[in-house]
Structure 1
Amino acid sequence: PSDNNSDVYEQITLPAIYTFVFIIGLGANVCGLKSLLQKWKSLGHINVFLLNLGIANFLLLPTLPFLTAYYFMKNKWIFGDAFCKITRFCFNLNLYGSIGFLTCISVNRYLAIVHPLKAKRRITVRTSVAISVMVWLLVSAQSLPDVLFPKNSPNRTEKCYHTTSNEYVEDYLKYSVGWTLTGFVMPFFIFLGCYGHVTLVLCRKNTINKVVKQRSLKLMFILILLFSVCYIPYHIFKNLSLYSRVLFSTNKKYPSWDKGVFCAHQISRGLVCLNSVLNPLVYLHVLDIPAQLQQLLQRFRQTFTRLFVSNYVSVPVAQTANRAIS
């Protein structure tokens, strides 16, 4: 459907969100990866998953200015069909690569807390690299069929659909449901299982350090936020929107709930890109950046006290001594 509300969501809201994500996400990911490389040796094998999470973010960010231009120009794609497919492919690699590596980080934290001895023996840097390669291969295999679907209508070649044209929407819905189950639902259940068990262990065991408990619960909160805000709405409304289009292709009429789902889907497309802004919170948390900032602030206070407060105190004393002499 195309009305004033849908135009607002697609041509104003999406470009605004993409611009925000590009600016903030670029800065946050550069800072995060710089800190990661500085502390590479001290982190252990989890740094491999964190690095790949950063790479997934950088696959999306360079494409956002082109998508912003597309929606800002009222859905007119001027960069060619090949680049349209590359842009959409990078979007999907970012989305499902992020989900994959966040799941790997969740399993890693689960093993470190629940089975620490097994984790030390079995999980090495080489194992982490092998798992990362498998994740990229699986994500690429899941995303590749999307490239094979047409991204524009035969009579409207300037379009760059994020799904496909109406002629192929029924087949695309079947593919999308399977993609959702393997690329999102399965990792999400693994995530829930890991952190459900971790929460039970943290609550029952008094031997676990309080700081470790707090850091684990904070990481769980960040990951729940990511899944709740970025991933769950996108997959629900994407498939509902596709189903609505399938109903239209058979009945020549959109269902009554289509307009609400369409608007929600446009918003969820913006929210899913926020994963590139929220993902750095994961590796900044693991790197313990807040603690580093706290140390820097403490040093600044000490320096400020030595330089200014001590000088301010010493000046009246010196003046009083001079008056006594005179």
Structure 2
Amino acid sequence: MSGIATSKTSFFRSNYEHVTLPAVYTFVFIIGLGANGWAVRSLLQKWKILGHINVFLLNLGVANFLFLPTLPFLSAYYFMRNKWIFGDAFCKITRFCFNLNLYGSIGFLTCISVYRYLAIVHPMRMMGRLTVTLSVAISVLVWLLVSVQSLPDMFYPKTSANNTHTNRTEKCHHTTSTEYAENYLKYSVGWTLTGFVMPLLILLGCYGHVTLVLCRKNTINKVVKQRSLRLLFILILLFSVCYIPYHIFKNLSLYSRVLIKHRMRPTWDEGVFCAHQISRGLVCLNSVLNPLVYLHVMDIPLRQLVRQFYQMFSCLSLKTALCNSFYIILLTIIVFF
């Protein structure tokens, strides 16, 4: 690698990985806990009204709450320049919770998409068939599949010493150490295909068909059309921002590490490294964006959530110019909803 490239990597690592990434994790922790807590409470209040889809929504919330409590530890880790002080076992638990959140969210978003597809395209076939028992059984199956996919990750080494002359465990790897990168790449590709690509194809198939039905049938209520298209927009946003970049650059980064291990450093290593670090910040935003699905399904205006957040800040005596700016930014974002 050239001196310029090495300097670029060091600059990016010191400014993004050790400053921006901890800030993103802190933001997601605060906003994610508030938004998901409020959404789950609203879900429980409307439990009987929503129907059987509430089971999938509740499990989506559980997936978020499994990951959010680990964010302060990850923020501290990156802020301290990759010094993990919480032990090997907790490092593996933290990474396992991230995977449960990521692939659990993808799984339950897929279930919600299939549910909406059946409700719009095959409403007569669906009536009376999707019971609470079946919804619970499907949810248990999703958790089992996600756990089986994520469990092998626990058996790869997750920690190593930053200083080779000491035995202190300091690094907590997102994937694994370079020594096992080749085997981990094979596992990661298979995991991506089963845990991400297949649900994505199912989701695209469902909403592709739904879009055709909505465009062709004039008998479908205009409000139903608008809500379905909005949900499609939310899911496209989630996958485009959070999931697709992460999986692409995670596997490319692993492949680059394998090539470097065999002394064949690719010319695109620098770009992939930077893109992968950015995608790691973006993927955790799913815990902030997932509540949009709750709000849409429960037909709660997003403005109402923003207003309650603003009132919460006011009660904490944080009604400053910064809070007002944050409120204005959120109102600008929700103009599409």
Alignment of 1:192-231 (within 5 A): 192-231=204-243
Partner of 1:258: 269
Q: 2-side partners of 1:94 and 1:178: how far apart?
A: 18
Partner of 1:113: 120
| Letter in structure 2 aligned against 1:261 | V
Per-residue CA shift, 1:209-240, capped at 9, x if unaligned? 00000001001100010000000000000000
Structure 2: 5+ residue stretches without partners:
1-5, 308-337
Q: Secondary structure at the match of 1:121?
A: coil
Structure 1: 5+ residue stretches without partners:
297-326
| Letter in structure 1 aligned against 2:197 | V
The two structures have a TM-score, normalised by structure 2, of 0.85
Tell me if the contact between 1:32 and 1:283 (Cα under 8 Å) persists in the aligned partners: yes
Tell me if the contact between 1:177 and 1:239 (Cα under 8 Å) persists in the aligned partners: yes
Alignment of 1:151-170 (within 5 A): 151-153=158-160, 155=164, 157-170=169-182
1:16 deviates by 1.0
Q: 2-side partners of 1:104 and 1:178: how far apart?
A: 21
Equivalent in 12, 18, 26 of residue 11 of structure 1: 18
Q: Secondary structure at the match of 1:150?
A: coil
Q: Secondary structure at the match of 1:200?
A: helix
Change (3 A) 1:211 1:291: farther
1:83 aligns with 2:90: yes
Q: Secondary structure at the match of 1:208?
A: coil
Q: 2-side partners of 1:292 and 1:162: how far apart?
A: 36
Q: 1-side partners of 2:288 and 2:301: how far apart?
A: 17
Equivalent in 66, 87, 91 of residue 59 of structure 1: 66
Alignment of 1:177-326 (within 5 A): 177-251=189-263, 253-290=264-301, 293=304
Per-residue CA shift, 1:171-221, capped at 9, x if unaligned? 000000000000000000000000000000000001100000000100110
1:62 deviates by 0.1
The two structures have a TM-score, normalised by structure 1, of 0.88
Tell which structure's C-alpha radius of gyration is larger: 1
Per-residue CA shift, 1:71-105, capped at 9, x if unaligned? 00000000000000000000000000000000000
Per-residue CA shift, 1:52-85, capped at 9, x if unaligned? 0000000110000000000000000000000000
Q: 2-side partners of 1:202 and 1:149: how far apart?
A: 47
Change (3 A) 1:101 1:185: same
Q: 2-side partners of 1:292 and 1:178: how far apart?
A: 41
Q: Secondary structure at the match of 1:196?
A: helix
Tell me if the contact between 2:91 and 2:159 (Cα under 8 Å) persists in the aligned partners: no
> Pairwise CA RMSD of aligned residues?
1.6
1:45 aligns with 2:57: no
Per-residue CA shift, 1:8-53, capped at 9, x if unaligned? 2211121011011001111100110010000000111000000000
Larger helix proportion of the pair: 1
1:5 deviates by 1.5
Partner of 2:36: 29
| Letter in structure 2 aligned against 1:287 | M
Tell me if the contact between 2:66 and 2:101 (Cα under 8 Å) persists in the aligned partners: yes
1:3 deviates by 1.5
Tell me if the contact between 1:25 and 1:277 (Cα under 8 Å) persists in the aligned partners: yes
Q: 2-side partners of 1:165 and 1:291: how far apart?
A: 43
Tell me if the contact between 2:83 and 2:170 (Cα under 8 Å) persists in the aligned partners: yes
Tell me if the contact between 1:6 and 1:262 (Cα under 8 Å) persists in the aligned partners: no
Q: 2-side partners of 1:284 and 1:180: how far apart?
A: 29
Equivalent in 132, 157, 160 of residue 139 of structure 2: 132
User: How much identity, in percent, do the aligned residues show?
Assistant: 79
Tell me if the contact between 2:160 and 2:172 (Cα under 8 Å) persists in the aligned partners: no
Q: Secondary structure at the match of 1:184?
A: helix
| Letter in structure 1 aligned against 2:267 | S
| Letter in structure 1 aligned against 2:157 | P
* More RCO (CA 8 Å, sep 6+): 1
Tell me if the contact between 1:52 and 1:101 (Cα under 8 Å) persists in the aligned partners: yes
Tell me if the contact between 2:52 and 2:132 (Cα under 8 Å) persists in the aligned partners: yes
Q: 2-side partners of 1:246 and 1:7: how far apart?
A: 24
